[in-house]
Amino acid sequence: MVLPSKQQIQNLPTLLDIVQMYHKEIQDHVKTGLWNGIYAGGKDVAWNLPSGEFCNNADEDKFIVVQTQNKRHTLKPNLKYSPFIFRGQNKNYPMILSSFGRDDYDILGNPIDRSIAHAKHLVANLKAEEFIDLLKRHPLFMMLDRGIILAPEKEPIFINMNYYGLAQHYGFKTGVMDFTSDINVAAFFACTKCVAFDKFEPITDTIEYPYGVIYVHEINPMLTFKGVGFTTIGLQLYPRSGSQRGLLYNEVEKSLPIYKLITKAHYFRHDPMVSLYFHKKFSTKLFPADGISKYAKEILDSTEVPGNVFAHNLYINQDNIENNIAKLESQGLSVNWNKQRCFSQELLNGLYSDLKNGLWEEFCKQIYFADDIKGKAMHESLLSLPNNPAYAHYFNIRDYSRIMYCDYLDHRRANINMNKKRATVNGGYI
């Protein structure tokens, strides 16, 4: 990679220049009604159809209930007000990679020893899986994932819980890359550096960090979210991903390389005053305190891997137990076969205290169902779930043990049925 000269860097715009340019382009987009000619003349599409994120009557800060290709639903940032997706980086790295993918290379972009890379990947996978295993025990995540019936609809809707996306937002290395529909969020990450868990500092050293880059994808409503591009993390129960207006690109699963989806790359020179401005304005907003960030940090800092997480990873990947233990030891970690990460009483108390203090109401307030009268009724039904006898137990700490026991029975039945299918060969049993 040919590095620019000092003079070329000095001639680059500041980050604020780029942000202001896109604010104007976004305003022009709203005025011209770019999506109106594509969907329903600017009116709401039906709540259970794709494309509601482009055509709706919701405010800019709302998250739109949108049906995905697998007939589940996601809470997507309102894209009516922006035809762009952004990613900010404080340096121009040789390749656009996820935090997981960067473990394959050194700082100059040269491949590192494969055995070291594989060991790092194993650690990253196990850490993320431990966190995800914890999230799947969260009562409200379980409720939304299993499906809820919202009047006047008769069939349940299933809200996607993007577990790997959440892991990414809490500091775990994954194969997904963060993007955002908000240029200000991209700007924040482009002019700050992470110095500790959930702690970012503004870039003021223009020697070490002479210039950064804002990557831009111009949205094509027919293609961007149709299997070859981006997916949504959007709004989840806790506010972090929503505050960051999060969208994702999975470098492992997607058939189209990310560089082919980048429409523009805007290079900018770092300016300490600009960095300080974005850091002061957005650092608290983008990393709100919540009940699970503490546990994310504990997992990231731990030198022990719970035995159940290690065994599950071993089963899924059909790896060799001795080899994997050796890989962990090379990275300073070990397996604790007696350890299992679960919700402590402290975390449960905090969770249900948050619910009493308005967590559910705040979550619901940000959600928009299209379709006017029906949409309003469904929103009211969602808001009232804590008082609905079919779902009230998810909101009551005294019922948590019962929820987990029922979950155990469901898994047990599923495993029994799966084993029966596996045992059947040509009509007989092996």
- Tell me the C-alpha distance between 430 and 422, whole Å: 9
What's the pLDDT score for residue 427? 36
Q: How big is the chain, counted in residues? A: 430
Query: DSSP H helical segments within 255-390, as ranges?
Result: 258-261, 272-286, 293-301, 307-317, 321-330, 345-356, 359-365, 372-383
**Positions in the chain short of pLDDT 70:** 1-3, 34-46, 48-50, 108, 227-228, 252-256, 405, 407-430
What's the pLDDT score for residue 38? 59
Rg of the chain over all Cα atoms, to the nearest angstrom: 23
| 259-270 residue pLDDT tens | 888 999 999 999
CA 165 to chain centre: 3
- Tell me the C-alpha distance between 17 and 274, whole Å: 10
- Tell me the C-alpha distance between 124 and 239, whole Å: 24
Long-range contacts of 337-343 (CB under 8 A, 24+ apart): 337/307, 338/307, 339/304, 339/306, 339/307, 340/306, 340/307, 340/308, 341/130, 341/133, 341/134, 341/295, 341/299, 341/306, 341/309, 342/134, 342/137, 343/134, 343/137, 343/138, 343/400
Residue spans per domain, the chain: 6-110+145-290
pTM over 0.85: yes
Q: Which residues 6+ apart lie within 8 Å of 361 measured at CB?
A: 383
Please name every residue paired with 232 in a beta bridge, in sequence order, or none if there are none. Answer: 247
Strands 63-67 and 367-368: parallel
